[in-house]
Amino acid sequence: MTTNLPTRPFQSSVAIEDITGLKERSLGQRLLASQPFWVTIALIIMCAVMTWDQPDAFASADNFYNITRNFAFIGIMAVGMTAVILTGGIDLSVGSLMGLVGVVCGLVLQAGYHWAAAVLAGLFAGGAAGAVNGLLIAYVGLPAFVVTLGMLSVARSLAIVLSENKMIYEFGPWGDTFNALGGGSVLGIANPVWTLLVLALVFGFVFNATAWGNYLYAIGSNENAARLTGVPVRRIKLQAYIVSGLTAALASVLIVGWQGSAINALGQGYELRVIASTVIGGADLMGGQGSAYGAVVGAALIEVIRNSLLMAGVDSNWQGAFVGLFIVLAVLLQRIRGKRSA
């Protein structure tokens, strides 16, 4: 009996080296699959429509200045929050930390100390509160949601006690310099925006190019695997919460300077806007996914929506509904993309 089967043993026409050298997806494909890219598109479309609709009001230099400054505060915190969310955690205390840090800065200035002392005291307060969060979460093993919810309450209460429930606006001899930090501008762009830009670049680099950034993704992706392969999981988590506390403090220093007064209610409800920014920018609350650029563009989108609604004459009470809609849409988009790539 004869067969037509080839007698030569099967040989693969491609060498393994050819395959192992392949990139999974081209740059274009990766861009199309990334959430921040689509949010950027949405942002551009929204700006284009508003510019066409209200060329005088929306596309003015003044409005640009206002919008960018407004989202800079949220953006700064969102970048720090991204570090926490990458590990699969959450930090609900950032809004309250703003209040506490603001009061601390105000009191230091009121007592007549140097502006740098006020900034350092503020950053120290934020970092210390973040460290308490991190220690309880990483070393004691309590759930992040509960610990930071507790800190939300404690920090706000401390702010009220320290300020004796009064507004602090007499900033002493260094008040003007302090106010210029957050309220001033360089080359026509507000200082908080420059701060956000630098922070986003630094953290974009840290998340992508350093072992520390890589560990954040690893912990959020599979904490047990990270531990088994020798990643210092606890230390990294602690550091992530300190980073989040520090960025909240930084945002608070700038916002107090801009407003020229410190109130203990500063930052109330901001934690939700910060988390919303990171989620719209593609961060996964289960961990392992997110980026610094996404956090910034998410914050920008929320502010542009708010601003546009205001300009379009929509009752400002509708803002919450629209922002909420976008959060859900963003997660929906993520889910759909996730299904396709899985």
Partner 1 sequence: MALLELQGIAKHFGAIEALKGVDLSIQAGEVVGLMGDNGAGKSTLVRVIAGNFRPSEGEIRIEGQTKHFHKPVDARAEGIEVVYQDLALCDNLTAAANVFLGREMKRRIGPIKILDYAAMYARVAELFSELKSETRPRDLVRQMSGGQRQAVAIARTRLSDARIVLMDEPTAAISVRQVAEVLGLIRRLRDKGIAVVLISHRMPDVFAVSDRVVVMRRGTKVADKSVNQTSPEEVTGLITGAIHTA
Binding stretches for partner 1 (CB under 8 A): 16-17, 19-24, 209-211, 214, 217-218, 220-222, 224-226, 228-231, 288-289, 341-342
Nearer to partner 1, 86 or 108 (CB): 86
Amino acid at 182: G
Nearer to partner 1, 116 or 209 (CB): 209
Q: Which amino acid is at 330?
A: A
| Minimal distance, residue 21 CB to partner 1, in Å | 6
Q: Nearer to partner 1 by C-beta: 1 or 336? A: 336
What minimum distance in Å lies between the beta carbon of 208 and partner 1? 8
Residue among 115 and 203 whose Cβ is closer to partner 1: 203
Structure tokens at 81: 């929050």
State the minimum distance, in angstroms, from the CB of residue 15 to partner 1.
Answer: 8
What is the gyration radius of the CA atoms in the chain, in angstroms? 23
> CA 127 to CA 321: how far, in whole Å?
33
Residues 6+ apart with CB under 8 A from 308: 46, 50, 58
- Identify the bridge partners of residue 263 per DSSP, sorted by sequence position: none
How many residues appear in the chain? 342
Please list, residue by residue across 288-323, b when 16 or more beta carbons sit within 10 angstroms of its beta carbon and e when fewer do. bbbbbbbbbbbbbbbbbbbbbbeeeeeeeeebeeeb
The tokens describing 110, both together, are 């009121």
The residue among 8 and 23 lying less far from partner 1, judged by its C-beta, is 23
Q: In the structure encoding, which two tokens stand for residue 99, read together?
A: 């209040």
Minimum Å gap between C-beta 152 and partner 1 is: 29
Minimum CB separation of residue 226 from partner 1 in Å reads 7
Residues 231 and 219 sit within 8 Å (Cβ to Cβ): yes
Write down the least CB distance from residue 120 to partner 1, Å. 23
Q: Which residue, 54 or 221, has its beta carbon nearer to partner 1? A: 221
